[in-house]
Amino acid sequence: MEHATFLRPEARPPSSRGIAASLPPDLLEQVRGRVRLLALFLLAAFAFDPVLFFSTWGLATLFHKPLEREFFANLPFQWVNLSAVTASAALWWAASKHRVSASRLHTIGLAYEIVICFVIAMISFWQQYLHSGVLPNLTWVPAVVILFPLIMPGPPRQMLAAAVAAGTMAPLALLVLDVFDKVSGAADAYAPAIVGSAFAVGFAFLGARVVYGLGRQVAVAQEMGSYRLEEKLGHGGMGEVWRARHRMLARPAAIKLIRPALTAGARPEAVEDMKRRFEREAQVTARLRSPHTVNLFDFGITDDGAFYYVMELLDGLDADTLVKRFGPLPAERVVHVLRQVCHSLSEADSCGLIHRDIKPANIFLCSYGEDHDFVKVLDFGLVKAFKESNHEAVTELTGENAIQGTPAFIAPEQALGKTDLDGRVDVYATGCVAYWLLTGQTVFSADTPMGLLVQHVNAPAAPPSTRTEMPIPAALDRLVLECLSKDPNQRPQSAKELARRLEHVDGVGEWTEDQARAWWAKHVP
């Protein structure tokens, strides 16, 4: 039985406390970006006066020019400005580091709001009183108090507490200046500061409720059954794939879904066809038990009509990315990968199913528990039953006379649109994948998909050994070419037979777990 860690229903995963548990991750990332931009803007704003002041002082000292006494009266303000610059730089740094969680960044941001409001109030009251002898009725503090909940949405009560604390900085700064005899303020001088802050706190609370409520609506909209969407991992013709997390299970998952918006404008029959294909993919994948077929956890339809299914989240990279990033694989590693692919396809074949879209992008190599280079076969979206008697089960769901598959990895009979296909089309596609893994090149290349189809039907394949400088044993070279035979009868007749022959290929050593672990530690730590 597979090990799973359960949490109490009311508990949250460690990474989902506070604001992170209330708002969707994509919105939190937008908040992170806005906080970083705000901190940078305020850093520049607060740094302007000190840079100008100390530059003027330095140039005057360099050229021995005297400065008026009033110039040095501004020196205390520059130290206050520099403290704001330091706080802004700290917030910018925190927002730039993804290891600083959303909850912690939010707390730092609220503390920053309070500090900045105190600095602004101090400078506004002190500087104007110094130059004119009159205290200003308003400062920028109310504007900052109103602005922050819009930039950093959070729970309304938390935002209210921060707004109250930030709003009190105006009268507090006036009190501090009065106590230290920097200004002389009568009792009525505090009234404008208190009233302005009070109004700002009210508006800030209303803004916090609206923005936070909208964020929560987005979070609810991104929930699929018991799962919450966290990050989009990719998209394709069949929909989107998201990283997700179960509300009670500690284990993350991947969700594949078709949103209603993705089918907007399509013909009703095309939409229905896509939904039937999607549902069939989920049903077929759920039937398969090979450890090398991606596991399916759940399937359903949301209230707004989005179809989704939940599968295991894998840690690794697909064979397409692997070769593009690191180059062709040694022969023993290729055989190790192909045997695992065959294990998945052999089970599908025994259930009367063919995949029809075996390609490097659908072969995922991962670190799976204690195993490395563990293969998972993905995307059974084009699977077809060829042994069932039920007419609907064998009916094409992708349109009459349509050619399905990926042109660079398609069998000749599949390219010709034949309907009497069997598992040998997957054997051919596996040969194409082997070619890619061994050489870093596809079997054929052409400027158009039709050109590729024509070559798969008519052109002989060059031996893999002639397309790479990597050593390829002659027996493996011949086996790949057999898989690429135009005549299905000349290929290995099943994935099981291909796996058996791969196990006994002359001249190919064993790819061990120690080798795999060392490779992953070096290249994908």
Domain ranges for the chain, please list them: 14-221, 226-312, 316-523
Query: Quick check: 169 and 125 in contact, CB under 8 A?
Result: no
- The pLDDT score that the predictor gives to residue 9 is 37
- The pLDDT score that the predictor gives to residue 421 is 86
Q: Stretch 389-410: mean pLDDT, rounded?
A: 54
pLDDT band at 261 (very low <50, low <70, confident <90, very high): low
Average pLDDT value over all residues in the chain = 80
Q: Stretch 80-95: mean pLDDT, rounded?
A: 86
Who contacts 71 (Cβ-Cβ below 8 Å, separation ≥6)? 56, 57
Whole-angstrom CA distances from 124 to 94, 178, 181, 447 are: 28, 14, 16, 68
- The pLDDT score that the predictor gives to residue 378 is 86
- The pLDDT score that the predictor gives to residue 220 is 47
- The pLDDT score that the predictor gives to residue 120 is 87
Q: Which tens digit of pLDDT belongs to each residue from 129-154? A: 877 888 888 788 998 899 888 887 77
* Residue 357 among the catalytic residues: yes
Q: What is the largest CA-CA distance in the chain?
A: 101
Q: Which tens digit of pLDDT belongs to each residue from 32-85? A: 777 888 888 888 888 888 888 888 888 878 887 877 766 676 777 788 788 888
pLDDT band at 255 (very low <50, low <70, confident <90, very high): confident
CATH 3.30.200.20 fits 226-312, yes or no: yes
pLDDT top residue among 345 and 304: 345
pLDDT band at 431 (very low <50, low <70, confident <90, very high): very high
Distance of CA 523 to the CA centre of its chain: 21
Cβ atoms within 10 Å, residue 76 = 15
With b for 16 or more beta-carbon neighbours within 10 A and e for fewer, the 364-392 pattern comes to bbbbbeeebbbbbbbbbbbbbbbeeeeee
Whole-angstrom CA distances from 302 to 89, 263, 266, 307, 309 are: 44, 15, 20, 7, 11
Residue 434 has pLDDT above 90, yes or no: yes
How far is the C-alpha of 153 from the C-alpha of 19, rounded, in Å? Answer: 9
Using only C-alpha atoms, the chain has a radius of gyration, in whole angstroms, of: 33
With CA atoms as reference, report the closest residue to 159 among 213, 201, 119, 195. Answer: 201
Whole-angstrom CA distances from 501 to 30, 253, 478, 508 are: 53, 35, 11, 12
- The pLDDT score that the predictor gives to residue 215 is 59
pLDDT band at 91 (very low <50, low <70, confident <90, very high): confident
Residue 484 has pLDDT above 70, yes or no: yes
User: Could you say which of 357, 379, 426, 477 is catalytic?
Assistant: 357
Q: Stretch 286-314: mean pLDDT, rounded?
A: 79
Q: Which of 229-238, 387-396, 422-431 has the highest mean pLDDT?
A: 422-431
pLDDT band at 401 (very low <50, low <70, confident <90, very high): very low
pLDDT top residue among 174 and 130: 174
Residue 17 has pLDDT above 50, yes or no: no
* CATH architecture under which domain 316-523 falls: Orthogonal Bundle (1.10)
Q: Which tens digit of pLDDT belongs to each residue from 327-376? A: 999 999 999 999 999 999 999 888 888 888 899 999 999 988 889 999 99
Residue type, 46: F
With CA atoms as reference, report the closest residue to 169 among 205, 123, 127. Answer: 123
- The pLDDT score that the predictor gives to residue 383 is 52
DSSP symbol at 293: B
- The pLDDT score that the predictor gives to residue 288 is 81
- The pLDDT score that the predictor gives to residue 28 is 63
What proportion of the chain, given as a percentage, has pLDDT over 70? 80
